[in-house]
């Protein structure tokens, strides 16, 4: 599962800057940014997609997926708290 971290935003003139940790660095001096129109989420990528995420999210909105889809998976089981006395 991809790692998610909370990062600090800084103002830079009329824009914003995100300081990426060393293990999140991109190669080169450019990055591609795209915004999902329905959620407002921004995705950064080292290379442009051929409509990839936008097409994917649009497809997901057109498919009737059952509410219980993928609810029974080992990844969804929370680890047992070894410190509790239950």
pLDDT in tens, 27-67: 889 998 888 888 889 888 887 766 667 777 788 889 888 88
**Which range marks the domain in which residue 45 is found?**
27-63
Q: Are strands 42-45 and 32-35 parallel, antiparallel or unpaired?
A: antiparallel
Residue 44 lies in a domain: yes
Over 80: is that where the pLDDT of 77 sits?
A: no
Residue 32 lies in a domain: yes
The angle at the Cα of 55, spanning 40 to 60, to the nearest 5 degrees, equals 80
Residue 46 lies in a domain: yes
Residue 55 lies in a domain: yes
Residue 83 lies in a domain: no
More confident residue, 73 or 28: 28
Residue 35 lies in a domain: yes
Over 60: is that where the pLDDT of 85 sits?
A: no
Give the count of domains, the chain: 1
Residue 55: what pLDDT?
78
């Amino acid at each position: 599962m991809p790692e998610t971290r909370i990062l600090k935003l800084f103002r830079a003139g009329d824009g914003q800057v995100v300081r990426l940790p060393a293990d999140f660095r991109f190669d080169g001096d450019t990055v591609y940014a795209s915004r999902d129109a329905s959620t407002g989420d921004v995705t950064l990528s080292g290379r442009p997609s051929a409509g990839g995420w936008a097409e994917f999210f649009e497809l997901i909105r057109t498919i009737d997926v059952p509410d219980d889809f993928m609810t029974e998976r080992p990844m969804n089981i929370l680890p047992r708290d070894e410190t509790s006395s239950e």
